[in-house]
Amino acid sequence: MLYAMRVFGAACLAAAVAVAVPARAQAPVTSLTVAVVDLTYIAQNAAAAKAVRAQVDKEEAGYRTDFNKRNNELRSAYQELQGQMGLLGPDAQRDRRVAFEQRAADFEREVDFRKRDVQNRANNAMKKVEDALKSVLLDLAAERKLSLILHKEAAPFYNSDMDLTDEAMKRLNAKLPTVKLDAPGPVPKAQAPKPQPAPKGK
C-alpha cells in the first residue's frame, strides 16, 4: 500500500501544478498568486484513502491466514511423499512427484497473482482519490484566482494563510468519503506446455 501512497502524492502534485496554471493563461499575469497543499498529509488522512488502506489490510490479512495454512499443508504433503517413495514403484514415484510439483507450482502462482491483484486494485482505487483531489484543487484555484498550487514540501517558506491543506481535505472528504475496492480477479490457469516439434528426419 505504501507504493500506492507515493504514486498518489506524485500524481496529485503534477496535476495540481500542471492543470491549475493554464486555467489563468488566457489573461495576462501581473502577479503570481501561490498556495500550498500538504499532499502527503492528505494521502495519509483523507477518508477515502483510509478506507482503501483498511480494505487492503483486511484482504491481505485473510490471504496471509489462508496461505500460511496451505503452505503448512504442502510441507506435510512433501514429508509424507518422501516417506512413501521407498514403497512405490518407479512409475508411481514419478506420478506422485509430478502431482506434488504441480500442486506446489499452482500455489506459488496463486500467491504471486494475489499480491499483484491487490496492489493493482488498490492503485485503481487511489486513482479515484487522486482524480477527486485534482478536481478539488482546480476548484480552489479558480475560486481564489491562484496562479500556482505547490506541494507543501516544495515551499520551505510561506505564510500560513497560503496553506489550503485543511480546506482541500474538508472538500475531498465531502466529495469522496469512501472508495470501494474492485472485486478480486480470478487466478489465471497454468499455461499448458507447448508441444515439442517432432524431430526432422535425416
Question: Phi, psi (5° rounding) for residue 125?
Answer: -65, -40
Q: What is the pLDDT of residues 79-99, one digit of tens each?
A: 999 998 888 899 999 999 999
Question: How far apart (Å, rounded) are the C-alpha atoms in residues 32 and 78?
Answer: 69
DSSP symbol at 89: -
Q: What is the pLDDT of residues 93-133, one digit of tens each?
A: 999 999 999 999 999 999 999 999 999 999 999 999 999 99
Domain residue extents for the chain:
2-175
Q: What's the mean pLDDT when you consider all of the chain?
A: 85
